[in-house]
Chains A and B, each alone.
Chain A
Amino acid sequence: QSALTQPASVSGSPGQSITISCTGTNSDIGAYKYVSWYQHHLGQVPKLIIYDVSNRPSGVSDRFSGSKSGNTASLSVSGLQVEDEADYYCLSYTRTYGLVFGGGTKLTVL
Chain B
Amino acid sequence: EVQLVQSGAEVKKSGESLKISCKGSGYTFDTYWIAWVRQMPGKGLEWMGVIYPGDSETRYTPSFEGQFTISADKSISTAYLQWSSLKASDTAIYFCARHRGGNGWSFEHWGQGTLVTVSP
User: Could you tell me which A residues sit within 8 Å of B by CB distance?
Assistant: 1, 3, 33-34, 36, 38, 40, 45-48, 51-52, 57, 87, 89, 91, 93, 96-104
A51 touching B100 by the CB < 8 A rule? yes
Tell me, yes or no, whether B95 is within 8 Å of chain A by CB: yes
Shortest beta-carbon distance from A49 to chain B in Å:
10
A100: chain B residues within 8 A (beta carbon)? 47, 61
Inter-chain CA distance A40–B61, complex, in Å, is 22
A34 touching B61 by the CB < 8 A rule? no
Which residues of B, 68-118, contact A by the 8 Å Cβ criterion? 95, 97, 100, 104-108, 110-113
A103 touching B44 by the CB < 8 A rule? yes
Shortest beta-carbon distance from B95 to chain A in Å:
7
A98 touching B104 by the CB < 8 A rule? no
User: Could you tell me which B residues sit within 8 Å of A by CB distance?
Assistant: 35, 37, 44-47, 49-50, 59-63, 95, 97, 100, 104-108, 110-113
A97 touching B106 by the CB < 8 A rule? no
B61: chain A residues within 8 A (beta carbon)? 1, 97-100
A40 touching B106 by the CB < 8 A rule? no
B105 touching A34 by the CB < 8 A rule? yes
Of A51, A52, A98, A104, which contacts B47 at CB under 8 A?
Answer: A98
Closest to B108 in A: A48
Shortest beta-carbon distance from B32 to chain A in Å:
14
B46 touching A101 by the CB < 8 A rule? yes
Known contacts A1-B62, A45-B112, A45-B113; A91/B44 CB under 8 A: no
A101 touching B47 by the CB < 8 A rule? yes
> Assuming A36-B104, A45-B110, A99-B105, what are 5 further A-B pairs, CB within 8 angstroms?
A45-B111, A91-B47, A100-B47, A101-B45, A101-B46
B50: chain A residues within 8 A (beta carbon)? 98-99
Shortest beta-carbon distance from B26 to chain A in Å:
16
Shortest beta-carbon distance from B111 to chain A in Å:
7
A46 touching B105 by the CB < 8 A rule? no
Known contacts A45-B110, A45-B111; A36/B45 CB under 8 A: no
